[in-house]
Amino acid sequence: MTINPRVKRNFVVVLRDLVIALGVRRLVLYVATAAAATVATLTLTGAVPQRLQITVTPTAAASGMNLAINQPTVKVADLNAQTNWPFGYTVTVASENVTAARCTAPCFYSPSQTDTLTFVLYRGATPITFSGTSAQFIATAAKSAHSGDPYDVQVSYNGATVVLTQATDYVENLTFTISNN
């Protein structure tokens, strides 16, 4: 059988083109494989928002106090201070009655009788000294525990040494403020 030279030449060209195409394809696959890395890096970043909060939870003893007795320290609230600031925090406390010039130290005040009874405020067993309308309740040099730092708020007074007018509206509002150092 004889093959037409023209067909033979076309067959050779097709075969040659096929070999070239396969070679190019193999070369592309080789280059792609060679360019693929065996190690890759992923960088993760994050941020921590500031956490700064205070909660004051009154105890049952905080309301309906008998102001006609000598009251040694009694727990009136649980205070929790929380911050993630590495340099700590300061909690200050302000007296509404001192601010309103009803007394010169924190006091129970009756608006109906205009009588007052001063008291001592404590952080745990430590008395707090007021300078003007406010006092430093606590100052720290480090961040708080994850769940916050707990403190007992206590008061003492001696209502047995004064004669207060009978009334049920004796009150003092203490405002606690936390700030980062």
Residues 166 and 175: their CA atoms lie apart, in Å, by 26
pLDDT for 102-158, tens place per residue? 999 999 999 999 999 999 999 999 999 999 999 999 999 999 999 999 999 999 999
d(CA 118, CA 106): 6
Query: Predicted confidence band at 35 (pLDDT cuts at 50, 70, 90)?
Result: low
Return the H-helix or E-strand segment holding 98. helix 96-99
pLDDT score for 37:
85
Asked whether the beta carbons of 174 and 94 are under 8 A apart, the reply is yes
pTM: 0.76
Q: Does the pLDDT at position 5 exceed 80?
A: no
Per the structure block, which two tokens stand in for 175? 């405002």
**Burial of residue 79, with CB atoms counted within 10 A of its CB: 0-12 exposed, 13-18 middle, 19 or more buried:** buried
